[in-house]
Each structure stands twice: as C-alpha cells, then as structure tokens.
Structure 1
Amino acid sequence: MGNIISMKNVRKDFKESKALRNVTFNVKEGEVFGFLGPSGAGKTTTIKLLTSQLIPTSGEVKVFGKEVYVNKKDIFKNIGVLSDTSGVYDRLSVRDNLTLYADIYGVATSNVEEILNKVGMLEDINKEAKKLSKGMKQRLMIARALLHKPKLLFLDEPTSSLDPGTTLEIHRLLKNLNEEGTTIFLTTHNMEEADKLCDRVAFLNDGEIVEIGTPKDLKLKYTTENIKVILKDENKEIMLKNDSESALRIKSWMENGQLMGIHSMEPSLEKIFLNLTGREL
C-alpha cells in the first residue's frame, strides 16, 4: 500500500516557541496510525498542518501524494476531521445537524441516515442534540466527519473525558470504520487506547519524534530479559533471569504443582515512553 500521509523534515515555529522540530514520518493507506504524546507535545499542531489550518515553517507536508497547501480542494473532499474544537448545534436535532453539513459538503442528504446507522444513532435521528449524552454527542461528531465518506479520518483525542463504557463503544466504531477501509490518524495521550487500536505509533515529545513502530515491535525492543513467576504459595511472585538455571527451577515448580503463571516482563507503551523521555503522560 502507498503512503496516504507524508511529512518530511517539518518544523513549525510560533514566535520564540518551536512546536515541531524536524518531524518525519509516513502513514500507509488502511492504517490506524497513532501519534502519541503528552499535552503540549505538538500533536494538534501536526493535525492542523496536515489539514492546511497551519503552514509549516519549513519541510514538506503531503496528503494523498499532493502538497497540502497546493491541492486544498481535492484533499478536503477526502478527509474528515474530529478535533478538540468540534461541536454540535444543541438546539438542532441529530438529523438537522447532519443535514446542515451535508449541504456544506454538497453530498446527498440520504447519506445522513446511512451514516447514523453506521455509528448506531439511527433511532436518535429526531432527538435534540442538547438531550444527548456526552458519548452520543461524540458519536454525532464522528458521524459528521464521516458524512462525505472520506478516505482519511483525523481524530484528535476522540475519547478524552469519556467514561470507560463509552470509550469502548467508540473504539468498536473506529475498528469497524478501519476494517471498511478508512485510514485513521489518531492523536492521543492514552497509551492503552493506542495499543488497542493502532497498527503503528509514533512517540512525540517536545515537538520531536523519539520512536516509531508497531506496538508489538516496540514492546519487544524495550523488554527486559527477566521473567515473572507466580507460585501457589500465597500467590508469591518471583523474578527470574531468562537462563538455563531458571528453566530448571520452573521445571521443578511445575512437577511439584506449585506453578500458577509465567509472565514475560514486556513493558507497556506508557512505560517505554517514560523510559525514553523521562516524562509521564
């Protein structure tokens, strides 16, 4: 698959502040790509560059193989955006909120019911937006971003401040969208969310990418050689080195019926980020 997003040596300055420094990465068509980092790392700035809301100080920004600032109209037809500034019109119904944007996008109003069905909100089509829960409003905003059936969806902290149950529903929706062919660019500081959803992730810290790869590869790269063994004796946990001597001890515990579990010491994405940057999320 080709690259749907390409950033090369991108820098973005705001007066004396350097928001991004020499950022380079690609996103392949069909991926869920996670752009991870704490607040203020430069995640939202990156989305604004990719959607032509900002112009880089230097470097190359391409979407669908075209320079963003030269081909705005062609690119905008094929992208959807859910940002931290997205909102809904509380006094309008769900249907009217989407019909308004259907007119703006120049797409058939028949898309409204189709998209609402996809996000599980068809039964709420006549409900006023102000009567929706926070999670349902988030679904409505995702529906609006999908109304013109974009090939690429930008999501800026899509589950921020949502409860765990609602977050799980949004995750299922995003997985379904991706399986249907939508490429997703996801910014988040929730490493568990990224681990669950993303094919690849990039760690952003102080405007620089400090690591990039699949969650699995990163965890294997930064794993320790230790093994955690859990024994039946009051759920006792023992740390062992991954060597032949430890193998004999484990064999003995197994033969005596003492072994309850064996775990590799694979780090979480959050722990990897902390080790790389010294910063918690």
Structure 2
Amino acid sequence: MLQSEKAILAKGLYRAYNGTIAVDGISFAVEPGRIFGFLGPNGAGKTTTIRMLTGQLAPTSGTAYVAGCNVLTQRTALKQRIGVVFEIQNLYERMSGYENLAFFARLYRVEKKRICEVLEQIQLVGREHEAVRRYSNGMKQRLLIARALLHRPQVLFLDEPTRGLDPVMAQQIRAVIVDLKQQGVTIFLTTHYMEEADQLCDHLAIIDRGKIIAHDTPKLLKRQALLNLRCIKLTLHDEQQITLCLDDRKDNKRLCELIEADHVLSIHSQETTLEDIFIRLTGRSLVQ
C-alpha cells in the first residue's frame, strides 16, 4: 500500500500526553473521493487524531500521509492540499460573507473569481454582502465550508458540520457534502448523528479509548443479526427482555442455554442500526 494511492493513510499513530494515551497505535486508509466517517464518544481520541492528520500536532510515534504529504515533514505542502472546518464558527461577524472569503482568498493567493464559485457552490449567492452576524447557524456553517474550499483542497476535514442545525439546514449541508464527493473531494467526517453517518459515509471507523474497534462500510457494520427475546428469568418467575447478537459466540451459547432450559417465551428479529452497533462495541452512547 503506497501513500500516493490513498487520500489518507495512517500507520501506527500514537499520541500520549504526560503518560496518558490519547491515541493508541491506530492504522487506517481512506480511498480518494470517499466520505470517511470517524465516530467515537467524547474523549475517545477523535480530536487528537484530526490534529495529527492536519499537521497541528506531532505524533508521539507512527506516521500518516494526507493528500500525499507526510503530516510531520511536509506540513507546508499539506496545508495547501487540505481544508478544515471545525465545530467552532470562527468567522468575522462584522464583515460580510464575501469579505470573509476575500480575506482568506488573499491568504491562499487564489483569484477573486473563485469566491463567486464557492458562494454558488454552497448556495449563498444573494446573501454574500450581508454582515455575517445576521446569518443563521446554517448559513455560517456553509460559509465555513466555502472558506475551506477556496484553494480547492484534495481532502476536507469536517468536524460535526450539522451539529445544532435545524433539519432543513442540516439537509442542505449534507447535500453540499454529497456534491463535494461527486467532484472528487475526499471527506473526513466526524458526527454525533448515526443516521447522518449511515446516509453519507462510504466507510466508518469507530474509535474508543484511543483504539479503532471497528472499521467497515455502514452496511457491513450493520450486518449483525440481533434477536429480541422475551424470557422467564432464570432465578425469578417474572419476564425479562434480552437482546442477543447471532454473530457473537457467547450470545449463541446463551441462546442455546435459554432454549434448553425452556426459559424463552418468544423470539423476534431486530433490524440493526449503527447506534445499536456503536453501543454494543463501546458500551455507551455516542451522545452523552
């Protein structure tokens, strides 16, 4: 596997702070033009990973390549090839949307016509000369994405792009993300919304306590068959609801034991969701 063949390639990324492990030797690869979802509860290591991949933080050990650049030794080239949209809306509120983009266009040394292109791309034409403080949260989020696209990045990092938005605005942001993918942009996405991850992502990695504990397509992650059982408790005579996974050997053994003991009153299959899988793998909800 060559780094030039992958939009993102992480190999044994490890980061510790004063003896505390934040990211514990993770490895993964992202194909060009794909949407890669990175899911994990607070404190799992997501932010540290993003900071390493975007050249803001040096790994304690391990290597990573993003858009063909070594994140440790080629930071200047890396910044020219990536765009980053963090959850915090760090815009100049007194300036207009156009003025915000014009300021960064000068920093990126891109032509002015590019401003009009990204404004049209994120559907802010007609509102670009209004002060940003009058924008809705959804408009501000679109402006942040426009700013990150000015220099035509190969890889775009989006940290919780729809968090706190109403359903209509969130859907507009998702439509922009899909459009960017169709244009060949690779997107590294973190989100707290499982349905969003299921809808948008080609691949997902679930990280918990610094380790990647699952990595696959949403479809394959959800392939596990779950059964809801209505049972008589083994020690008491009242009923109990139990959920078992047929892909789990221990659960298969437990199912056989319950059936042999004649404790099963009924069995119903359950369609698996990403949230089911996430909770099963981590033991906790993504939103806490």
In the superposition, the TM-score normalised over structure 1's length comes to 0.84
Say whether residues 1:41 and 2:41 are aligned partners: no
Partner of 1:268: 273
Counterpart amino acid of residue 200 in structure 2 = L
Counterpart amino acid of residue 167 in structure 1 = A
Partner of 1:134: 137
What pairs with 1:38-187 in structure 2 (closer than 5 Å)? 38-187=41-190
- Unaligned 5+ segments in structure 2 are 229-245, 247-267
Tell me how far 1:266 sits from its aligned partner: 2.7
What pairs with 1:163-242 in structure 2 (closer than 5 Å)? 163-220=166-223, 222-224=224-226
Counterpart amino acid of residue 226 in structure 2 = T
Say whether residues 1:2 and 2:5 are aligned partners: yes
Say whether residues 1:30 and 2:33 are aligned partners: yes
**Which residue of 264, 268, 283 maps to 1:278?**
283
Q: Deviations over 1:69-119 (max 9, x none)?
A: 211122211110001244110110111000000000010111111100000
Q: Is the 8 A contact 1:22 1:208 kept in 2?
A: yes
How has the CA–CA distance of structure 1 residues 181 and 264 changed in structure 2, closer, same or farther, with 3 Å as cutoff?
A: farther
Q: Is the 8 A contact 2:12 2:26 kept in 1?
A: yes
SS in 1 for 2:277: helix
Tell me how far 1:64 sits from its aligned partner: 2.5
The aligned length equals: 247
In the superposition, the TM-score normalised over structure 2's length comes to 0.82
SS in 2 for 1:170: helix
- Distance between the aligned counterparts of 2:166 and 2:208, measured in 1? 27
Partner of 2:17: 14
- Distance between the aligned counterparts of 1:86 and 1:56, measured in 2? 27
Q: Deviations over 1:39-85 (max 9, x none)?
A: 22111111110111000111111112331121112221111000124
Counterpart amino acid of residue 94 in structure 1 = G
SS in 1 for 2:146: helix
Partner of 1:257: none
Tell me how far 1:264 sits from its aligned partner: 6.2
Q: Is the 8 A contact 2:67 2:154 kept in 1?
A: no
Q: CA RMSD in A?
A: 2.0
Q: Is the 8 A contact 1:93 1:125 kept in 2?
A: yes
Q: Is the 8 A contact 2:55 2:78 kept in 1?
A: no
Q: Deviations over 1:130-163 (max 9, x none)?
A: 0100110000001000111111100111111112
- Distance between the aligned counterparts of 1:151 and 1:42, measured in 2? 24
Q: Identity across aligned pairs (percent)?
A: 44
Q: Is the 8 A contact 1:44 1:187 kept in 2?
A: no
- Distance between the aligned counterparts of 2:59 and 2:95, measured in 1? 37
- Distance between the aligned counterparts of 1:64 and 1:95, measured in 2? 28
Counterpart amino acid of residue 281 in structure 2 = L
SS in 1 for 2:84: strand
Counterpart amino acid of residue 222 in structure 2 = K
